[in-house]
Amino acid sequence: MNIRPAHPQDIPHILTLLNDHVRRGDVLPRTAQSIHDTLPDWLVGIDAEDELVACVSLLYYSQALAEVRSLAVADKVKGQGWGRSIVKAIIAQAKLQQVPILFALTRAVPFFQKMGFTISSRELFPEKVWRDCHVCPLLEHCDETAVVLHLTPQPIQPQNYPVIQLQHIQIGDLPMSKPTINKAVLAYSGGLDTSVIVPWLRENYGCEVICFCANIGQGEDELQGLKEKALASGASKVYVEDLRHEFAKDFLFPMLQSGAIYERQYLLGTSIARPLIAKWQVAIAEAEGADAVAHGATGKGNDQVRFELTYKALNPTLKVIAPWREWDIRSREDAIAYAKKHNVPVTHTKKSIYSRDSNLWHLSHEGGILEDPSNEPEESMYQWTVSPEKAPDEPEIVTVHFEEGVPVSVNDAQLPPAALIAKLNDLGAKHGVGRVDLVENRLVGMKSHGVYETPGGTILYAAHRELESLCLDRDTSHFKEELAVRYAELVYFGKWFHTLRESMQAFITDTQKTITGWVKIKLYKGNVIVIGRHSDNSLYREDFATFGKEDVYDQKDAVGFINLFGLQMKVQAMMDVSNGGKTRYAAPDYSKFKRD
């Protein structure tokens, strides 16, 4: 691989490469002048065809600190090792400059971890935090994670994570059936159950507890004061990561491209979120040197499987703790009593009769009157979408643009992935779009009744399906529909990181190369009505579809085609005639029927 310092003539090509990634929300925008001013700090990768296919730069904040930034690799060479090679080269350059600490803000955390970086805290790098934010499209909700690489043996010490001294518990005092745990990373939501799990883990395993909460669009109300509450419950450290961009770009959009719908109705809002949360749990466990992960899923639902299959796929050496399968807490009252006994702060709010799960993609409802599937859901249950009857009397037209199967704009306004979904959620919810009442088959064997609100997802699925109808040939389209059923099962069953799903995704990604264009949709009282679609890659051709004689199709050709296509049926009928004189579809003898 030819990796070299950047030259002035490289600047336009660097800009082109960066702008491709800026549009997707992967990197911050740069100007030609800013690249020119820092050109000695840039490296580029040149392929065998003398094209610039990779770039990266260093930004020096001091003699002791530099940032790895503007890392971009062209799509055509992804998976060939250019990213690893150019980052190794920039690390070597930092060593030559005797810079002891490198850091980066990134969404590609696993990639940087493989390069030796570890997860850190943005607060440790105040020089960076606001330097570029005024041009960032995610100014209000930064979703990047700080990672750091120490090029000298002396690491910087974290300053902002309060540590609560744990009560000393002798290992010999613990039940012998429990494994020895030193440190556990808990998937933490801030609700009653996971708040109680923190002291329960300390009491029953004698371990340090680190809490991790993923912001995947569940709303600011659920995140308010969460960090303080976790620390007050006994956690030694708390991570709250904004993963909305990663959720949309790396999980929701690939699933959208697959067309996966579980049991013909469910758009997999809860199912698709769990592997992302569990993936980050594993990453934090590895960064913190933890030997266990824990979750608050019950022993009779699907989520326990989704969490634990992800743990197994990404780090099978981690021990798994599922308190609901161990403890004797069986009710909300039991949990409140345990919380009071251990001085866990509990917010006294009226308990909803419904069990809900919300994120950027959907809002689900279970329990209450829904336990009887013959009951119509009460209107007050819905939290997101308006009733179709109360939706506006005037329809609204929405145009969604796609590039290679990825939605990139709504009504000609380009938006980052998470913001695009949020925009369509608002539009769909206003018109009562996306309500589903479903009895589904759980992985564990029982049936459950749930109601889902997925306004933006419903619009995107309809639009993507219509664009594929223009651009995919019949055989590929029909096979992809078969694949979508299996893909949906893999997601529902928690096998996102299974090799089969990943192999399916490679095929699906290949099918999306021509899925570029726009779809126009009318939203009206719960309905998503497609009223137009266009693509330069469309396989629909009026001149091919006419009934007159054309260069590409002669109607006389149909005779031979039909003879060959129906040959098996013809042979069967000939055998019937030769044996008994009639085919099995011969007309009945109506004279034998009695008349009324």
Q: Quick one: pLDDT band at residue 4, thresholds 50, 70, 90?
A: very high
Comparing 253-267, 380-394, 573-587, the range with the smallest average pLDDT is 573-587
DSSP letter at 330 equals -
Cα 265 from Cα 320, distance rounded (Å): 32
List, for residues 489-540, the tens digit of each pLDDT value: 999 999 999 999 999 999 999 999 999 999 999 999 999 999 999 999 999 9
* Mean of all residue pLDDT scores within the chain: 87
Residues of the chain with CATH 3.40.630.30: 2-146
- The pLDDT assigned to 130 comes to 47
What CATH class is the domain 360-472+515-534? alpha beta
Cα 217 from Cα 140, distance rounded (Å): 13
Q: Which of 202, 274, 435, 501 is catalytic?
A: 274
Nearest to 361 by CA among 428, 430, 300: 428
Fold of 2-146: Aminopeptidase (3.40.630)
List, for residues 36-56, the tens digit of each pLDDT value: 989 999 999 999 899 999 999
CB 421 within 8 A of CB 459: no
- The pLDDT assigned to 374 comes to 95
CB 263 within 8 A of CB 432: no
Q: Which of 10, 41, 143, 193 is catalytic?
A: 193
| Known active-site residue 250 | no
- The pLDDT assigned to 593 comes to 61
- The pLDDT assigned to 445 comes to 83
Residues 6+ apart with CB under 8 A from 481: 259
Q: How many other CB atoms are found less than 10 A from the CB of residue 55? A: 28
Q: How many other CB atoms are found less than 10 A from the CB of residue 135? A: 11
Q: Mean pLDDT throughout 274-302?
A: 93
Q: Which residues pair with 214 in a beta bridge?
A: 241
3-state secondary structure of 150: strand
List, for residues 313-368, the tens digit of each pLDDT value: 999 999 999 999 999 887 778 888 898 888 888 765 556 778 889 999 999 999 88
- The pLDDT assigned to 590 comes to 62
- The pLDDT assigned to 68 comes to 95
DSSP, residue by residue, 260-328: --BTTTB--HHHHHHHHHHHHHHHHHHHHT-SEEE----TTSSHHHHHHHHHHHH-TTSEEE-GGGT--
Residues of the chain with CATH 3.40.50.620: 171-351
Q: Mean pLDDT throughout 172-179?
A: 51
Is residue 121 predicted with pLDDT exceeding 50?
Answer: yes
List, for residues 59-100, the tens digit of each pLDDT value: 988 778 899 999 999 999 988 999 999 999 999 989 988 889
Q: Quick one: pLDDT band at residue 146, thresholds 50, 70, 90?
A: confident
| Known active-site residue 486 | no
3-state secondary structure of 390: helix
Fold of 171-351: Rossmann fold (3.40.50)
- The pLDDT assigned to 420 comes to 98
| Known active-site residue 193 | yes
- The pLDDT assigned to 551 comes to 64
368: left (phi over 0), alpha (psi -120 to 50) or beta: left
| Known active-site residue 557 | no
Cα 412 from Cα 398, distance rounded (Å): 10
Q: Quick one: pLDDT band at residue 404, thresholds 50, 70, 90?
A: very high
List, for residues 433-461, the tens digit of each pLDDT value: 999 999 999 988 889 999 999 999 999 99
Is residue 173 predicted with pLDDT exceeding 80?
Answer: no
Is residue 474 predicted with pLDDT exceeding 80?
Answer: yes
Q: Quick one: pLDDT band at residue 300, thresholds 50, 70, 90?
A: confident
Q: Which of 303, 435, 501, 533 is catalytic?
A: 303
- The pLDDT assigned to 577 comes to 78
Going by their DSSP bridges, the two strands 292-294 and 183-187 should be labelled as: parallel
Q: Quick one: pLDDT band at residue 580, thresholds 50, 70, 90?
A: low
Q: Which of 352, 355, 387, 503 is catalytic?
A: 355
Dihedral angle, C-alpha 242, 243, 244, 248, nearest 10 °: 170
DSSP letter at 115 equals T
